[in-house]
Amino acid sequence: MDMVKELKVAIKTGKVETGYRVALKLLSKKDVKALVLASNAPEDVSSKVRSAAGEEIPVYNFPGSSLELGGLCGKPFPVSTVSIIEPGESSILKPKEE
């Protein structure tokens, strides 16, 4: 799966939220289907998000930095975490084929 391509499709056709605090709130409400973490997300952010997601919610690693992830989301600032609420036409939730 091409993470960048699928994330672009999810942003364009689905519903996503940015930011790790938002992700934690959405996780507590069980409103998240998947999460994407920037490669340079701080360790404390990464561990909090991963532990809150547990085993049932997939957490993907974005191959670029938080600045690149922010740019992909159309934000003029770094984004460490993207919460996928609805994937839209993206196949980001399909199992990884490796």
Total domain count for the chain? 1
Q: What is the pLDDT of residue 92?
A: 87
Q: Is the pTM of this model over 0.85?
A: yes
Is 65 domain-assigned?
A: yes
Q: What is the pLDDT of residue 95?
A: 63
CATH of the domain at 23: 3.30.1330.30
Q: What is the pLDDT of residue 57?
A: 93
Give the residue ranges of the chain where pLDDT is below 70. Answer: 95-98
For 95, residues 6+ apart whose C-beta sits below 8 A from its C-beta are none
- Look up residue 55 and give its DSSP letter: T
